[in-house]
């Protein structure tokens, strides 16, 4: 699995490929709920069975791709760095949707 610059991770997120970019990671397996609040944990658990890709920031899932409902990006606020990571995911999702058209 490649170690990347965080900005380069956008391409990996778009393609739903595994990567590590410091505290930002893309995985094809679940590593837990980290610091999610109860509302986001409930959504995480709801999507769990159909999720095929997760994006983590500091071991907390900040987005995931479900084969049933598509992308979900948590709305919970974290640190400045994790907010930046969430924005990378938003950019990647926008790029993947443009590529699908």
Question: In this predicted model, what pLDDT tens digit does every residue of 11-62 receive, in sequence order?
Answer: 999 999 999 998 999 999 998 999 999 999 999 999 999 999 999 999 999 9
Mean pLDDT of the 84-101 span: 87
2 lies in some domain: no
- pLDDT surpassing 60 at residue 101: no
State the residue range of the domain holding 48. 9-100
Mean pLDDT of the 57-72 span: 96
Number of folded domains in the chain? 1
Q: How far apart are CA 82 and CA 84, in angstroms?
A: 5
39 lies in some domain: yes
**Helix H or strand E segment including 100:** helix 80-100
Give residue 17's region: left, alpha or beta (phi > 0; psi -120 to 50): beta
91 lies in some domain: yes
**Location of structure tokens 């979900």:** 72
73 lies in some domain: yes
46 lies in some domain: yes
Residues in a beta bridge with 60? 57
1 lies in some domain: no
90 lies in some domain: yes
- pLDDT surpassing 70 at residue 99: no
Q: How far apart are CA 48 and CA 9, in angstroms?
A: 23
- pLDDT surpassing 70 at residue 1: no
42 lies in some domain: yes
In 3D space, the residue among 14, 16, 44, 35 whose CA is nearest the CA of residue 78 turns out to be: 35
In 3D space, the residue among 69, 63, 56 whose CA is nearest the CA of residue 90 turns out to be: 63
Q: Is the pTM of this model over 0.75?
A: yes
Better-predicted residue by pLDDT, 91 or 101: 91
């Amino acid at each position: 699995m490649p170690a990347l610059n965080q900005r380069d991770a956008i391409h990996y997120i778009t393609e739903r490929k595994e990567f590590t970019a410091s505290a930002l990671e893309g995985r094809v397996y679940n590593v837990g709920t980290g610091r999610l609040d109860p509302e986001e944990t409930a959504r995480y658990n709801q999507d769990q069975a159909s999720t095929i890709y997760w994006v983590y920031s500091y071991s907390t899932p900040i987005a995931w791709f479900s084969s049933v409902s598509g992308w979900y990006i948590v709305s919970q606020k974290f640190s400045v760095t994790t907010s930046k990571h969430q924005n990378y995911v938003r950019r990647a999702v926008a790029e993947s949707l443009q590529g699908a058209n």
